[in-house]
Chains A and B, each alone.
Chain A
Amino acid sequence: MSRFGMAIDTVRCVGCMDCVVACKTENKVPEGFNRDWITEEAFGNFPNIQLEIRTERCNHCEEAPCVDCCPTGASHYHDTGGVVLVNHNECIGCKACVASCPYDARFIHPDGYADKCTFCIHRVEKGEDPACVSVCPTHCMTFGDLDDPNSKISKLVKSRKWHVLKPEAGTKPHIYYLT
C-alpha cells in the first residue's frame, strides 16, 4: 500500500504563490479559481513578530468528510496513495463536500462539478512530482509515500518538528507543515 502526502517546510517557503500559478497552468484551473493558496499567520507586536507562511490545499485526509458526505460517490479515495478525487461525471454539484471540508479546499468549477487539488495524480502516476512541488523555487515541498519509511517525506516527518492543520477536525490530514 501507499499513502501519499506532502511535507512543507515553512522555514523555506516565502509565500511567492508559484505553486498556485503552476497549478493553474498545469490543470487549466479557470480564471477566478485556484486549487491551492497561501496563508500568512503573524503573531506578536511590532517589531517582535513571528510569521508563518504556508502553501495550502486539499489535505487528502484519511477520514475525509467530503468523501463521507458525497451522495453520489463522486468523491472517492483513489486506489493509489489514498488521494481524494472527484469523478466529474458522477458529481451533481450539490456542494455538500464544499460545505463539509474544514480546509475550504473545494469549489464548484464553472462546468458544474466540485473541483480541488488532485495531488496532480496524472503526473504522479508518471513518476513526476505534482506541479506545485516541481515548480517551487525554494524547494519547500516534498511529495511522497508516507507508508515507505525510507522515503524522503517519511524521514522529514520523523526528524523535523511539524504540525497539521485543524487536527481537532479529526480528518487525519496528510500535509505536514515543518517548522
Chain B
Amino acid sequence: MDSLSRRRFLKITGASIAAATAVTSLNSVVKGAKTIEEKNGSVVKGIQKIPTYCDLCFWKCGAIAYVDNGKLWKIEGNPIDPLSNGRLCPRGTGGVGASFDNERLKTPLIRKSVRGEDQWVKATWDEALDLIANKMKKIKTNYGPESLAFFSHGIGGNFLKHTFKAYGTNNITAPSFAQCRGPREIGFELTFGDVVGSPERTDIKNTKCLVLLGSHLGENMHNTQVQEFADAVGAGATVIVVDPRFSVAASKAKHYLPIKPGTDIALLLSWMNVLVTEGLYDKDYVEKYGFGFEQFAAEIQEYTPEWAYTRTGIEPAVIRETAREMGKNKPATLVHPGRHATWYGDDAQRARSVALLNALLGSWGRKGGFYTPYKFGLPGYPYPEYPKPEREPADNPGKKYPFAEGELLSTGLREATITGNPYPIKGWFVYATNLMQALPNQQETIKAIQNLDLLVVVDVVPSEIAGWADVILPEATYLERYDDISDSPFKEGFIALRQPAIDPPHDQKPNWWIAKKLADKLGLSNYFPWKNVEEYLDTRLKSAGLSLNEFKKTGIIKRPPKPIYFEDGVQPFFWTQSGKIEFYSLKLKEHGFDPVPKFTAPEEPPAGFFRLLYGRSPVHTFSKTQTNPILNDMMSENEVWVNADIAGRYGVKNGQYIKLKNSDGVISNKVKVKVTERIRTDCVYMVHGFGQTSIRNRKTYLKGASDAQLVTKYKMDPLMGGTGMNVNFVTFEMEV
C-alpha cells in the first residue's frame, strides 16, 4: 500500500498549521492551579484545581483534578476542552479510584519461580532496570535489536517507544490495530484515501440520520460521541440501529434491525442497491469525486433487498424504507464506521462497504457526515536520528497481508515469537496492555511467552500479563505523572497537558522516568538530552511560542477555528491511487481481492451452540479498570445475556450462575445469566474484560467470565491481518 500513506494526510495538515502563530489561550478558567514545585513536599491547604487529561481510555478528555488539603478528591471535565466540554464519562469521573486502589503495584518485582506462577521478590529500581538492560543487551548481541518487541497502549507509551527506537527495534506494536480498529482504517483508506482516525471524525452532532452497525454508543462511552449522540437524538435525528442485540442505542432508534450476526455486508450491499436503483444517491458528488462508479453499480445490481433478506433476516420493506431515510437526509446521513471492528475476518471489506455507502450519500467531508479534522500541529522534540533497523518488522513476513501497513500486527509478532519466522523474537516489553485479554487465543500467547528470554510488564496494577513477566515495573497513575502532550485530530486544533495532581503513593514511577533511566543503562543517554520531563515539554512548547508554565494553568491551548467541511471551503483531496473516491478499487484488484465488496455467509453455530458476542460497559475500559474501587463498585462482574425463549428451553434462570463451553472445549469461569428479550436466539453476549485470573487482584479475581478465554478461534482478515473474533460458539454448562 505504498501509494496510500496513512500518515501523509496529517503530516500535511500539521505543516500548514505550524506556520500559523495565533494561539488562543484561556487562562481564566482554572483559578488557583498550583504546580508540584510550589507544593514542594508540604501539604497545600484548601482545594487545588489541577488541569490534566484523562487516561481511562484513549479519548484523552481534558479534565481538572481536585486536591483537597493535599489529598486527591475528585476529577471533572475541563470546561474549555473540546472533547469533554467539561463533562467526563463515568470512567473518567471515577478515574480517581485508580490512585486509591490498595491492590496497586507498589515496587518493582522480579520473578522468583517459573513464569506464570506469580511468585516475586521486591527489587529496587536499579536492580530491576539493570536486569532488564543486561538482558536487552544480550538479545541485541545474540539476535539483533529487532528481536525485542514493544507492545503498548495509549499515549503513555510514547517515551518508552522512543527508548526502543533508540535501541534499534522496529517491532513496536499495539493491539489497537489488528485486534480493534485496523480493518476500519484500511477499508476507509482504500475508499477515501484516508483513515477515520481517533477521535473518529464523525459529525454526529449535526447528523440528520445516524446509522449504527453494531456500534453501541451509550454503552460504548466515547465521550464526545455519546454527548453528540444525545444531542442528535434530542434534536430528533433519525437513528437506525443494526445489531443482533437490542442495545441502549437501539432503544433510541426509529428503526431497529435485528440482523443475523455476520451478515452486515449483505445488508450494506442491498442498501447501496436501493440507493442506486432508486436514484437516491448524491449524483453530483459521485460524479465529481467518484472513480469506477459504473463497474460498482453494475456489480451491486444483483443485491436486491429480497436477496439480502434471505441472508440477514431483515425484511425487504425495512431495507427499502431505511435506505430511503438515508437518501432523504443525505449528505447529513452518517453511517458510523464503528471502532472495535474485528468481528468476522471480512472486516476490512465490511468497513469498505460502510465507506462506500457513505460515499454514495456524499457524507465524507460534509456537515452531518464526516468532518475534516486537523491537529494543533505541535512540533516534536528535536531528537537525534534513530539507528536504522537492518530487518523489516517481523509481524507480516512476505507481506502476506498486503494492506497491513503503517501499524504492526500484534498477533503477527506473537506468531513470529512462536515460530522464529522470519527471525526470532526473544524479548517482549509490555506497556499498559493486558495481552491476555487483548489478543485472541490465550494459549498462543502463553506458548509465545515460553520462547522469550525477557518479558517485562509496566502497569499500574498486577494485570494478568504481569503475572507472566520476569520483571514488573510499577507505574504512577495518570494523576501522578506528566505524560507527552496530546495533539489529537479533531474539529478544532488543540493540545492538552497531563500533569501530576499528587505524588505517587509508593515507589511507583512515571513512564518518562522509566524510559530515560532504562536508556541510560543501555548506554543511550544521548537520546535523552533533557534533564526531566518538564524540560522536554517546555522545549516542545517553546518551539510553538508557548510555555509550560502557562500551559499548566489551563491544561488546554487551542488554535483559531478553521473550516472542516467541503462546503465551507475544505479542499477535497483523496489519497487513493486514482485521486478519487474508489467505488472500484484497482489496488484491491491488483492484489487479487474483490474490487467491490462481496458477501460470504458466516459459519453457522452447531446445534445447541450460540455465537459469542462481546461489547463494552460504560463504566469499564477493556480489562484495565475493573480493579478501580469506584468503577468496580459500579460493575464488579459481567453477565451473559441469554434470549428468554432460549433460557426457557434450556431451563436457565435469570440470575443463575452457569459456565460457558466453547466448541474447542474451553470452559469459562462461572457467570451470572441475564435472561432477556433484548437479544436474538442464535447468540449470547457479554461485556469484555471480566473473569480475570490475576490472584493478586482480589476485586477482579474470577469475577464473571472472560470472553477472551473463550475466543480460541479467530479469523484472519486477508487484506490486513485483523483477527475476527466473533467466530466462536458456546454452549451452557449448568454445573458450576
Contacts and interface: CB of A to CB of B under 8 A. Distances in A.
A123 B94 CA distance: 19
B677 A16 contact: no
Interface in A4-51: 9, 11-12, 14-18, 20-22, 24-26, 31-32, 34, 42, 44-47, 49-51
A52 B252 CA distance: 10
B633 A32 contact: yes
B248 A136 contact: no
A61 B200 CA distance: 44
B234 to A, nearest CB: 5
Given A21-B619, A25-B96, A42-B676, A14 B227 contact: no
A18 B90 contact: yes
Contacts of B676: 42
Contacts of B93: 18, 21-22, 25, 135
A53 B248 contact: yes
Given A42-B678, A46-B679, A137-B226, A17 B633 contact: no
B74 A47 contact: no
B492 interface: no
A11 B248 CA distance: 11
Contact of A18 (B75, B89, B251): B89
A72 interface: no
Contacts of A12: 230, 233-234
B2 to A, nearest CB: 41
Contacts of B223: 137
Contacts of A137: 87-89, 221, 223, 226-227, 230
Contacts of A15: 218, 248, 618
| 9 cross-chain pairs, A with B, having the tightest CB-CB distances, nearest first | A14-B218, A138-B230, A51-B251, A16-B618, A25-B74, A47-B258, A18-B90, A21-B93, A21-B94
A140 interface: yes
Given A20-B634, A25-B96, A135-B76, 15 more contacts: A12-B234, A14-B217, A14-B618, A18-B88, A18-B90, A21-B631, A32-B633, A42-B676, A46-B258, A47-B256, A51-B250, A51-B251, A53-B251, A137-B221, A137-B227
A163 interface: no
Interface in B220-258: 221, 223, 226-227, 229-231, 233-234, 246, 248-252, 256, 258
B629 interface: yes
A85 B651 CA distance: 46
A160 to B, nearest CB: 11
20 contacts: A14-B219, A14-B226, A14-B252, A16-B89, A17-B90, A18-B93, A22-B74, A25-B93, A26-B74, A34-B633, A44-B677, A45-B644, A46-B678, A47-B246, A47-B256, A49-B677, A53-B251, A137-B87, A137-B89, A137-B223
A46 B677 contact: yes
B630 A25 contact: yes
Interface in B654-680: 676-680
A41 to B, nearest CB: 11
Contacts of A22: 74, 93
A161 interface: no
B73 interface: yes
A138 to B, nearest CB: 3
A51 B246 contact: yes
A48 B307 CA distance: 24
B381 to A, nearest CB: 34
B731 interface: no
Interface of B: 73-77, 87-90, 93-94, 96, 217-219, 221, 223, 226-227, 229-231, 233-234, 246, 248-252, 256, 258, 618-619, 629-631, 633-634, 643-644, 676-680
A78 interface: no
Contacts of B226: 14, 16, 137-138
A155 interface: no
A11 B234 contact: yes
B46 to A, nearest CB: 15
Given A16-B218, A135-B76, A11 B619 contact: no
Contact of B90 (A16, A42, A44, A45): A16
| Residue of B223, B618, B643, B679 contacting most chain A CB atoms (<10 Å) | B618
B122 to A, nearest CB: 28
Contact of A21 (B90, B218, B256): B90
Contact of A17 (B73, B76, B619, B644): B619
A139 interface: yes
Contacts of A25: 73-75, 93-94, 96, 630
A24 B630 contact: yes
Interface in A94-142: 134-140
B230 A140 contact: yes
A17 B634 contact: yes
A46 B234 CA distance: 25
Contacts of A16: 89-90, 218-219, 221, 226, 618-619
A32 B250 CA distance: 31
B523 to A, nearest CB: 45
Interface size class of A (residues with CB under 8 A): 20 to 34
B227 A138 contact: yes
A134 to B, nearest CB: 8
Greatest chain A CB density within 10 A among B89, B676, B677 is at B677
A32 B633 CA distance: 6
Contacts of B89: 16, 18, 137
B168 to A, nearest CB: 44
Interface of A: 9, 11-12, 14-18, 20-22, 24-26, 31-32, 34, 42, 44-47, 49-53, 134-140
Contacts of B96: 25
A43 to B, nearest CB: 9
A18 to B, nearest CB: 4
A98 B438 CA distance: 44
Given A46-B258, A46-B680, A11 B75 contact: no
A158 B89 CA distance: 30
B78 to A, nearest CB: 13
B643 to A, nearest CB: 7
A24 to B, nearest CB: 6
Contacts of A9: 234
Nearest to A139: B230
A49 B249 CA distance: 12
Identify the interface centre among B230, B231, B234: most chain A CB within 10 Å of its CB.
B230
B251 A50 contact: yes
A156 B713 CA distance: 52
Nearest to A25: B74
A137 B679 CA distance: 27
A26 B96 CA distance: 11
Nearest to A50: B251
Most chain A CB neighbours (cut-off 10 Å) among B87, B256, B644 = B87
Contacts of A47: 246, 256, 258
A25 B633 CA distance: 12
Contact of B251 (A24, A49, A136, A138): A49
Nearest to B86: A134
A11 B633 contact: no
Contacts of A140: 230
A157 to B, nearest CB: 17
Given A11-B252, A31-B629, A46 B88 contact: no
A14 B249 CA distance: 8
B246 A49 contact: yes
A17 B94 CA distance: 10
A12 B230 CA distance: 5
Contacts of A134: 76, 87
Nearest to B252: A11
Contacts of B629: 31
Contacts of A21: 90, 93-94, 619, 630-631, 634
A42 B644 CA distance: 13
B267 to A, nearest CB: 15
A140 B633 CA distance: 23
B689 to A, nearest CB: 16
A53 B248 CA distance: 9
A79 to B, nearest CB: 26
